[in-house]
Every structure is written in structure tokens, then in C-alpha cells.
Amino acid sequence: MEISNQQIIQRAAEHSYMRTLSFILLSVILLCYSNMVIAGDKEQLQKLLNSFLTDNTQSALEKHTNFWADDLIYTSSAGERFDKKFIVDGIKNSNDKNVSDNNTNEADKYTSPTYSAEDIDIRLYGSTAIVAFKLIANINNLNTKKQIQYFNTGTFLKRNDIWQVVAWQATKIPAPENIAAQ
């Protein structure tokens, strides 16, 4: 049985067509999968941030221990730089003070600030994510209420399938009355 040149060319074209079709199909599947992974990571980061800011079911110590990586670099809006140990120690000292300070004057008492995030922008770069947002802090003292806003940018790393913050920058947004005075 002899195969003509025309048949060889036709079979080669069919084989090439199947290869191209298989490549395109595989590419579409991988693209869809990677988009699902990205969407899943973004959703996970948004939930992590919102839970950190608003979830009152965990203790402050537990939330901060889980949210910040051990190798954290935190730059505060006051221009101070510190690490996770500094934050955790501050919470522990605050808890100790609150337990021993039951004789506080009623006028000095206030409710804990509440926090929320607006304008959240999450950008993924593999196992690294940059999360930028506006932090809204509502502070309610007995006699006054005020709101303070910050621009925050956090760098998250995903290690062992867990997102944690390795770098943080907080910048206080001037109150509108302070901007008008300038």
C-alpha cells in the first residue's frame, strides 16, 4: 500500500491541527484555572483584612499574632519603625494594665475604636500581594466622637498556604479642617 504525497500532507495537516487545538484547549484551561486562583487569593486577602479589622470574636493578641509575619517591618504614621514582637508586647502590656486598672475614673473610660477599610486595592504577584486601602478609625470617648483616616499599604506573603503581612506602611490622612488651614 503506497501513500501518496497528497495523503502524507493531509495527515500531517490533521496532526498539526490536533496539536494546535490541544494546545489552545490546554491554554484556555490553564488561564481559567489561574484566574480562579487569583480570584480566590484576592477574596482570601480581603476576608483576612476585614476579619483583622472588624472581628471581635478573637482576642487582639490572637488577631495580631496571626496577621503579622514574624519578620514584619511596620512603619507607623508617626514615622516609627518596629517589628511584630513590639506590637505583641504592646498588646500584652495593655491587657495587663487593663486587668490591674479597675479604679479608672468614669470620664476616662471609652469604648474601643472600631475600624473598617475602604477603597481596597489588592494586587497579586504570585505568592506576594500588595494590599492598599483607606483605614477608617472611629473613636468614641464618653464626651466626643471622632474619625481618623489612614492610607495603609501592606505587603503580604503566602507561605505554607497562609497569607501574612511582612511589611506595612501607615500614613495619616490630614483632617479636612487641617488641610483648609494650610
Domain boundaries, the chain: 5-181
**pLDDT-derived band at 21, boundaries 50, 70, 90:** low
Residues 6+ apart with CB under 8 A from 148: 137, 139, 172, 175
Residue 146 · residue 157 · CB < 8 Å: no
Report percent pLDDT > 90 for the chain. Answer: 52
Q: What share of the chain is helix, strand, coil (3-state, %, to 5)?
A: 45, 35, 20
Report percent pLDDT > 70 for the chain. Answer: 73
- What's the CATH code, domain 5-181? 3.10.450.50
**pLDDT tens profile 68-116:** 999 999 999 999 999 999 999 999 988 766 544 454 555 445 577 899 9
Say what the pLDDT of residue 11 is: 72
Span 147-170, average pLDDT: 97
Given a cut of 90, whether residue 134 has pLDDT beyond it is yes
Residue 85 · residue 17 · CB < 8 Å: no
Say what the pLDDT of residue 28 is: 64
pTM for this model (two decimals): 0.71
For 17-26, 63-72, 100-109, 155-164, which range has the lowest pLDDT when averaged over its residues? 100-109
Say what the pLDDT of residue 175 is: 83
Say what the pLDDT of residue 101 is: 47
Q: How many CB atoms lie within 10 A of CB 74?
A: 19
R_g (Cα) of the chain, nearest Å: 27
Q: Which triple of cell numbers denotes residue 146?
A: 471622632
User: Residue type for 47, please?
Assistant: K
